[in-house]
Each structure stands twice: as structure tokens, then as C-alpha cells.
Amino acid sequence: MIRFENVSKTFRGNGKQVEAVKEVSLHIKKGEIFGIIGYSGAGKSTLVRCINLLERPDRGRIWIGDTEITVLKGKSLRKQRRKIGMIFQQFHLFASRNVYENVAYPLKHQGLTGQEIKKRVEKLLNLVGLEDKASAYPSQLSGGQKQRVAIAGVMAMRPRCIVLDEPTAMLDPNGRKEVLEAVHQLNRQEKVTVVLITHYMEEVIDADHVYVMDEGHVVMEGTPGEIFSQVDMLKKYRLDVPQVTLLAHELKKSGVDIPDGILTTEELVNCLCQ
């Protein structure tokens, strides 16, 4: 679905230069959930902003499907960009429009009938768990609910892939959980490919594939199990390993016979009981 080949991006200004992304090659497969984790300043945002050329790389090539986006400009670039929906920390909602109107807004000039719009908006509100909030205004919603409205609004345009750049950074634990559940639900039901940047490692436990970035490089990649079993490497890259994974790691070091890469309390309890 999305391929990067040796992509690099350097920011220049005020006599300084920052190499934000260095020679990154990766492959995001259709229909899967990809987590990108890494310490602040590792280059995660710059990397995902290259996907639809919000940042143009200095070197390397990027494909969306069979189309090389790095050679496109103007109208053909705008057409490809519509395939990727971007969601950020801040929720870009219209304060004077209710939830239904916020999600329906991008569909206004798409040549759809009122009935088609209604069907699509209601389905999306259902998938993100906000069917009972259709007539509420943003000021009446929690942070997690606002972010779910923003996600439904992006999904209304039927992107093939959604890129979420720290979508839960401003939320409390409850809001974080709701947003992640909504994202997983959309991935399952709408088959949308998901790229999720986060610095909460727990949030990528259920991803299909995880990339770890450090100082502009992709330094680790694999399934969550493969990544989380390398506790010492994760610490080296200044990442906060989940408590339960740390505990399992320490138990293993002191001789308890349990496998690497324990990700949940349930898994640890099961292993210890066996």
C-alpha cells in the first residue's frame, strides 16, 4: 500500500540543519495497523508527513499503491493525497456545527444525495461509538469524543489509509482507550490501513507491525511480540517499556521459565500459572 525507499529529509534554516529522517525504507501493507514509536524528536512526524508530501523528502522515493507520489505535483498530487487521511493531536472541529454536521461537512461537494450522506455519517458515528451524540456540539464533548468525531470526519472521505500522529497525546486514559478502540473498529469494519504514531508503547500492542525510530533512523521493526521482547534495546532508545513486560523480563532474568515478549497482564498470569 505505501512504500518508502531510502527516504531522507533535512530541515535547513538559520545556519543550522537537522537531519530529521535518514535513509528510511519501509513497507506499510494494506489493511494492517502499523505503529511507529520513538522518543520525542526521533523523526516520526516528519516521516509520516512525507507519506503525502506534506513534507517533501530531499532524497528517496515513496509509492502509494502503484503510484510514485514523489514525482507528482499539482492536481495529480492532490488526487493521491485524498487517499490518505491525516489526524493530529488537536481536534479540528467546527464549534458551531453539531457532531453530525462536522462529519457530514467534507461530503457536501462530493455529489452525494442527502440520503447517501446520512447513511455514511450514521454508519461512521456508529463505528466510532458516537451514535447517541449526533446532535451534540463540540463544547459538550470530552476530548476522546472530539477526537473520535475528527476521525469519523476524515473517514467520511473514504481514505485508503489513515495516519494518526499522536492522536491520544492530549487525552486522559479513558479517552485514549476510546480512541484506540474506534481506530481498531474502523480497521476491522472498513478495512482502512492505519499508521499510528504514539509514544505510549501500550498503544501498539495490538498493531500488526511496529517500527521504532531513533535519531531519524528506523532502528527496530517487527511484530509487537518481537519488539517488546527486546527490553534492553527499547531502554537504549529511551522508550518506556510496559510495566508487565518489564516484570516478565526481570522474572526471566532471575530464572523463571517464561517466554520473551509478554505484553499483557493476562499473558503473564497464564504463563506463571502453567
**Near ligand ADP by CB under 6 A, which window of 44-52, 109-117, 149-157, 167-175?**
44-52
11 lies in the binding site for ligand ADP (CB under 6 A): yes
Rg (CA), the chain: 20
Which one-letter amino acid corresponds to residue 216? G
And the C-alpha cell for 160?
A: 485508503
DSSP string, 115-148: HHHHHHHHHHHHHTT-GGGTT--GGGS-HHHHHH
Looking up cell 468525531 gives: 149
Question: Least distance (Å) from ligand ADP to the CB of residue 211?
Answer: 12
| Binding range to ligand ADP, per CB under 6 A, among 42-50, 147-155, 171-179, 242-250 | 42-50
Our finding on whether 35 is near ligand ADP (CB under 6 A) is: no
Cβ contact 162:156 at 8 Å: no
Question: According to the binding rule CB under 6 A, does residue 42 interact with ligand ADP?
Answer: yes
From the list 25-33, 36-44, 101-109, 265-273, the region that binds ligand ADP by CB under 6 A is: 36-44
Instruction: Please tell me the distance from the alpha carbon of residue 210 to that of residue 139, in angstroms, as a whole number.
Output: 35
Applying CB under 6 A, which of residues 44, 81, 133, 249 lies at the interface with ligand ADP?
Answer: 44
Q: Rounded distance, CA 168 to CA 147, Å?
A: 8
* Span interacting with ligand ADP, options 23-31, 41-49, 142-150, 237-245, rule CB under 6 A: 41-49
Does 41 sit near ligand ADP (CB under 6 A)?
A: yes
Residue 40 binds ligand ADP (CB under 6 A): yes
Q: Using CA of residue 94, residue 97, residue 100, residue 105, what is the dihedral sign?
A: negative
Q: How far is the CB of 214 from ligand ADP (least distance, A)?
A: 9
Name every residue whose Cβ is closer than 8 Å to that of residue 116 and which is 6 or more positions away in sequence: none
DSSP states of 67-79: EEGGG--HHHHHH
- Choose which of 7, 24, 37, 45 interacts with ligand ADP (CB under 6 A): 45
Cβ at position 10, least distance to ligand ADP in Å: 9
Residues that bind ligand ADP (CB under 6 A): 11, 18, 20, 38, 40-46
